[in-house]
Structure 1
Amino acid sequence: MIRLYDGAGVSLDAPQTPVQPLAERACWIDLLHPTPEEETQVEALIGVEVPSRDELHDIEPSSRLYIENGAVYLTASVVWKADSDFAEIADIGFVLAGGRLVTIRYAEPKAFTMFAANAHRELAHRELAGAGGHDVMTRLIEAMIDRSAEVLEHRSRRIDALSTEVFSRGAVANPEAVTRDLEATLTVIASHQRTIAKVRESLMSLARIASFLQTLPEIMGDKTLKQRCRSMAGDVQSLSEHADFISENIIFLLDASLGLISVQQNQVMKVLSVAAMVFLPPTFIGTVYGMNFQNMPELSQPWAYPIALAVMATSALGPYLWFKRKGWF
């Protein structure tokens, strides 16, 4: 799919056939799951090749940020599906050539949708001549950073609520129910940690792109774009520190949950230990009188059985009262 936008952020009509050329006034060309025919159309307009899907997955730094044939090639790892429990990283390619920006993506991060919806307001006040694609590029990176901040804030609130919920479960009287709930909470904590890790990976990638953009002549020669790139680098640094702080909270919450599970399991073991101690003396007495010795005079007495039962009950009641006095249960 090809989506076209002019320098003012207004959506243009996409070609109806693969042989139809793209609009010359297109400033941002967004390729979503492009076909080979669509890639050929874009290459005919910008005069350089666009990276393939396999090339976007290359993790070598030299293959992610480079200049070739006068065109700037960048690959960013962007978090998406961040609102679900299974956040993922998508590799998105950027090509700056001929004053245009081409984005190649095989995922739909929310930042792109939000930026495309507001592009006409973001870009309308700028005169986009030769540096039009660079202006769109920096604003798009800003949108990704803003989206990362939104994800971190949302996850931070959810983690705070989960923390309150975890520590309030200690007052529940049923240890088994508490343990089951805490074990289910571990899955939720893992989901939060996965999302934060993906956001941190995305921020690292955006930081590298922001630093690389500042070395481009088109950026260095434009005071507004240069200042924007510096601001983006500062924002990424602040968000990375915030992500580290959230990760530390998640680790603390994980340790606390495991500790509470251990406490609840120890409570169960304590009850079992008390029960064993309570029934140990009666069991010993019953075992003694269950031995098959002929010379046990008290067995022939009529009062032997009730007295044995009374002694067994007393031996069981004694440890019970002692443990209760100690507050073990």
Structure 2
Amino acid sequence: MTGTARTVAEAARHSTPHTPARPTTERPSARFDPQVLRARWLQVASEDPATVARARAEGVDFTLAAGRVWETDEHVYLPLVATHLRGDSVERDLLTFALSPDHVATAQPTRHYPIFDKAIARMRRTPRLTLSSYGIMYALVYALNEAAERVIHHASDLLEEMSDEIEEATLGYDRRGREIGVTDMQGTIARMNRAEEIVSSTQESQLSLARAARHLRSEIADTDPVLAGLVETLVADIDGVKEHASFEHDKVRYLQQAIMTSLDVKQNQIVKVFTIITAVFLPPTLITSFYGMNFTHMPELEWTLGFPWIVLVTLVAAVIPLAYIKRRGWLR
């Protein structure tokens, strides 16, 4: 200890000679204790009969929830939908929380659920969260919300990767100047539909997270103002991710509509071309059908200029509808 620090310590000791030392009741909050966390948080693997039986022995029966919010004398059962990334794929899991003032239990797909690693890291940084089941519940919902936000960013990145293809589809031509048809856009449309599914799943996840956060807020009430403030911030964050998901969903719908409109325009142009061709060649076809009939007397066959005259009439019959179509602007 330096001289200055020793002086300050001695001055503090002599200035309060009769003040007893304060009990170290807050010491557990100064460091992260895994034993405390395990005592308050019970992780139940849904497919593991042993952990399910252990939970029932402690009064936690997840079958009571049956996919809905359910309250008993001791627990509040909250079903959640977790949407998260595993590599480049998006997965969706069904979880159930059982919350009581003494502990929180989670029914999850596996004993080690990777999403909750971030919750544990949060509790390591803020050890006081492990002192109550409500603090642990806050950290778990926080981790689920962060996982959902990463999914939304992943969907946004997918749309950005398709931006060039979407622009080409809107313009109707690729980089080589070739017209784009429905077959050319099947892959883009399939990936866009996948992005819409991802965003829709995230929206459902955020609804369940918001419901769980509101229940947590009501359970805390005024017992812990600091934790209540954290939960209020968490509710706002969940709503923010939900709004982001709604924005991305609207964006997907707009891009889908733009692509389908562009393809519809291309289809209409194709139909218009065939219609113009039919209109131009219908009169000449009608004339040639007359001379395909087996009549006994056809005076034009004996004319010296019969063939050139018929050819001229046929050309005129083709040019007249073409000129009319051009005048009406149907060739544009």
Q: Give me the TM-score of the superposition, normalised by structure 1.
A: 0.75
For 2:60 and 2:246, how far apart are their aligned partners in 1? 38
User: Which amino acid in the other structure matches residue 280 of structure 1?
Assistant: L
Per the alignment, residue 194 of structure 1 pairs with 197
Per the alignment, residue 292 of structure 2 pairs with 290
SS at match of 2:127: coil
Matches within 5 A, 1:1-329: 8=32, 10=34, 25-44=38-57, 47-52=58-63, 55-59=64-68, 64-66=69-71, 68-80=72-84, 89-97=92-100, 99-106=102-109, 112-116=113-117, 119-120=120-121, 122-127=123-128, 130-131=131-132, 133-169=133-169, 170-172=171-173, 173-175=177-179, 177-217=180-220, 220-301=222-303, 303-305=305-307, 307-309=309-311, 311-313=313-315, 315-316=317-318, 328=331
User: Which amino acid in the other structure matches residue 150 of structure 1?
Assistant: R
For 1:129 and 1:282, how far apart are their aligned partners in 2? 89
Q: 1:108 to 1:27 in 2, by over 3 A?
A: closer
Asked if structure 2 preserves the Cα contact closer than 8 Å seen for 1:152 and 1:243, the reply is yes
Q: 1:121 to 1:240 in 2, by over 3 A?
A: closer
Deviations 1:223-265 (A, max 9, x none): 3321111011111222222222222222222221221111000
User: Which amino acid in the other structure matches residue 39 of structure 1?
Assistant: V
Deviations 1:203-233 (A, max 9, x none): 111111111111224x632233211110111
For 1:171 and 1:34, how far apart are their aligned partners in 2? 52
Q: 1:120 to 1:247 in 2, by over 3 A?
A: closer
Deviations 1:243-301 (A, max 9, x none): 22222222222221221111000111111112112222321220121222222111134
Q: Number of residues paired by the alignment? A: 297
Q: 1:246 to 1:129 in 2, by over 3 A?
A: closer
For 2:331 and 2:259, how far apart are their aligned partners in 1? 23
Report deviation, 1:200: 1.2
Asked if structure 2 preserves the Cα contact closer than 8 Å seen for 1:31 and 1:103, the reply is yes
For 1:190 and 1:282, how far apart are their aligned partners in 2? 48
Identify unmatched segments of 5+ residues in structure 2: 1-30
SS at match of 1:293: coil
For 2:139 and 2:130, how far apart are their aligned partners in 1? 16
SS at match of 2:218: coil
Report deviation, 1:311: 4.3
Report deviation, 1:191: 1.9
Identify unmatched segments of 5+ residues in structure 1: 1-6, 13-22
For 1:104 and 1:164, how far apart are their aligned partners in 2? 43
For 1:69 and 1:33, how far apart are their aligned partners in 2? 23
Q: 1:222 to 1:89 in 2, by over 3 A?
A: same
Larger deviation: 96-105 or 147-156? 96-105
Tell me the percent identity.
Answer: 24
Asked if structure 2 preserves the Cα contact closer than 8 Å seen for 1:43 and 1:50, the reply is yes
For 1:108 and 1:150, how far apart are their aligned partners in 2? 23
For 2:326 and 2:51, how far apart are their aligned partners in 1? 79
SS at match of 1:220: coil
Larger radius of gyration: 2
For 2:121 and 2:315, how far apart are their aligned partners in 1? 86
Deviations 1:56-77 (A, max 9, x none): 5433xxxx142x3433432212
Deviations 1:30-74 (A, max 9, x none): 223333222222344xx212313xx45433xxxx142x3433432
Deviations 1:137-163 (A, max 9, x none): 101101111122222222223224435
Q: 1:265 to 1:310 in 2, by over 3 A?
A: same
Q: 1:89 to 1:56 in 2, by over 3 A?
A: farther
For 2:205 and 2:128, how far apart are their aligned partners in 1? 30
Asked if structure 2 preserves the Cα contact closer than 8 Å seen for 1:90 and 1:107, the reply is no
